[in-house]
Structures are given as C-alpha cells and as structure tokens.
Homo-oligomer: A and B are copies of this chain.
C-alpha cells in the first residue's frame, strides 16, 4: 500500500471503530432507556442519538456525496434544545435512521481514494481552500468522529 493509502485506511478504521462501539448499544435501546437523561437536567438519550444522526447526515452534502436522508431531524435534535419539540421517529425508525446514515457514510468513506479524502469540503470556497488545504474532507470526518466519541462518553453514563 502507498503511504497515502495507509493513512486513508487508518482513518476509515478509526471512524468504523467509533461508530462500531455504538452500534450494539443503539440497536439494544428501549423506549424507557431513550427517555432517560444522561445526568440530572441534561439531555435525554434520544436527543443525543437523534443529534448524532442529524449531524452525521449533514455529511452527505458537506462532503459532496449525496442528498441527506433525514433532514427533518435537524429542527428537533440540532437547532432546538431537548424536549422543545416532540420526537418525530418511533424507536424502530430511529434505529433504522442510525443504520441508514452510518452504513451509507461508511460505504462512501471506503470508496474514497486518498486524493478524494484531500479534496475540499463544500463549505469552503475554492479560493479559501487554495490557501487552507487542511479544510478537506478528511478534517471534517476527523471532527465528526471526535464528535461521536464526545457524545459516546455521555451515553455510557446511562446503563
């Protein structure tokens, strides 16, 4: 493997590991569990799961790899705080949304060539990207991987 292929593969492995750690816990969620708060007066589990789906779903347009699958989640789990709006998805549909978004993202990441990883994301202009080449797809996925870990650390507080 070329160095840049090793870099790309290692990064995809990190994403898969972080998402993978949540796959079973999300699949095992119950209605009761979803409504628990991670700590007193903090977000419910369902808000965090919905928030991760919404934020990661936004990667499709941001990385230029397709249309969003669940744009309606933003209002409930991203632009508004927890408990402001009713939860729009059933337990089964929430789990399906988790799988849909992450399976499709992972397939896209597996297919990126090293040079495609280093292309700009769509929120940076060509002009800015010429000056700041680190504003690439890789940086976005690194950031989102850390974001999943961040909330993963909260979800483990609720057993």
Contacts and interface: CB of A to CB of B under 8 A. Distances in A.
A59 interface: no
Contact of A1 (B1, B133, B151): B133
B9 A146 contact: no
Q: What does DSSP make chain A's interface, helix, strand, loop or mixed? A: helix
Interface string A93-128: 000000000000000000000110110000000000
A13 B18 CA distance: 19
Contacts of A18: 146
B3 A115 contact: yes
Interface residues of A, number: 38
A29 interface: no
B42 A157 contact: yes
A91 to B, nearest CB: 23
A63 B11 CA distance: 18
A146 B143 contact: no
Interface string A1-43: 1011011111101100110000000000000000000111010
Contacts of A145: 146
A83 interface: no
Contact of A149 (B6, B42, B118, B153): B153
